Structure 1
């Protein structure tokens, strides 16, 4: 069962369209897994619509909106969106259907480093970096903390750290107050968003810290 969800503030910002693109993708993908959060967002959007076009408002705004909508739908030059075909992603001898918000974005090829592999999503979102991350069976990410924040949405498989075990759909938000060493027995696929480098705390991985800003 999913135990980790976006905060109420994030859900509210998502429903208002106020989140950066990469975080919007992460929340949208979580909603594909979590009916509870999906219902919360639907309620938030309904309340916002009621506030904007409620019974107590004058009719002029509604009339203006109706006129605008009629003009848009009568325009035959409007681009018609093509059907979206979500091709499964092959990884670790599996085929996984990604949430549409993630699958619809182009990405680089996976770059393998030991038991880790990362594919960067081609999104210009300021300092935010979004990636698909694979960890092979019996793999781990070295013990680290964060110089900014790290959002991890588990898409497939399992992993655990000092704070517990995670299942697909878990939405894990960590910052400089947290440190952990994710490990997986069976392998996993994650969607990650970070806004700064990781800081490795132990062993040879500490050698990466001086170039952390180049590889985050």
Structure 2
């Protein structure tokens, strides 16, 4: 597998610092399990962060919010200057779409097997499983039928989506198994699944979606997104 869409550098730095919302961190870990490129960049972020902490303050000191922000910005600047590392081989050995086993970071929330998933109807052609009790945000798995258009929407905060099976496309490109869509509040898009097979993905939201269409807005409390 060779993903073409990766974690944003700011997400990588926040993950390395343990600063992501728990739901977003779960999806980030799912992507890292399959993406050698992002694992290599994560190692660089952790190494840079460790060096900056050693030079800026004693290890036992408690960082204020402003110090954490300054450290995060410094890590991003240093990470931009680092040439891409030679990635290590992917961890998974089975074909991503042929393997019945869910990625390991999802096991505590969705179980271990695709076949054992208990889907619930959400909308025509759309089924979901919502993970309970992960944190203040939302973690859910979606199964969207082939050739389906999702409503146009933007984001009140972060949306991180990892493609597990099938694929979709939107204004940002084509997203296939292994790809991650790392989106913020400035992105508005409309995913459309490709024909032939359902698209299964896992998504994390740390704030509600924003829908410009009146029907989607009316239905949003029902869907709790």
Tell me if both proteins adopt one fold, taking TM over 0.5 as the criterion.
yes
- For structure 1, list consecutive stretches of 5 or more residues without a partner in the other structure: 54-60, 62-90
Q: State the match for 2:169 in structure 1.
A: 160
Find the aligned partners of 2:50 and 2:187 in 1 and give their Cα distance: 38
Rate the CA distance shift 1:106–1:156 in 2: closer, same or farther, 3 A.
Answer: closer
Q: State the match for 1:3 in structure 2.
A: 4
The answer to whether 1:20 aligns with 2:21 is yes
The answer to whether 1:150 aligns with 2:166 is no
TM-score (norm 2): 0.66
Q: State the match for 2:127 in structure 1.
A: 117
TM-superposed deviation, 1:175: 3.4
SS in 2 for 1:180: coil
Q: Deviations over 1:121-147 (max 9, x none)?
A: 123312x10101110122221222233
Find the aligned partners of 2:174 and 2:165 in 1 and give their Cα distance: 13
TM-superposed deviation, 1:8: 1.8
The answer to whether 1:200 aligns with 2:201 is no
SS in 2 for 1:179: coil
Q: Deviations over 1:9-44 (max 9, x none)?
A: 221222232322212211111112210111122233
SS in 2 for 1:140: coil
Rate the CA distance shift 1:175–1:190 in 2: closer, same or farther, 3 A.
Answer: same
Between structures 1 and 2, the one with greater strand share: 1
SS in 2 for 1:191: strand
Alignment of structure 1 residues 13-162 onto 2, 5 Å: 13-47=14-48, 96-106=100-110, 109-112=118-121, 113-126=123-136, 128-162=137-171
Find the aligned partners of 2:17 and 2:218 in 1 and give their Cα distance: 42
The answer to whether 1:189 aligns with 2:200 is yes
Rate the CA distance shift 1:37–1:207 in 2: closer, same or farther, 3 A.
Answer: same
The structure number with the bigger radius of gyration is 1
TM-score (norm 1): 0.68
RMSD across aligned C-alpha pairs, in angstroms?
3.1
- For structure 2, list consecutive stretches of 5 or more residues without a partner in the other structure: 55-59, 61-96, 112-116
TM-superposed deviation, 1:208: 1.7
Q: State the match for 1:67 in structure 2.
A: none
Choose 109-118 or 174-183, whichever is displaced more. Answer: 174-183
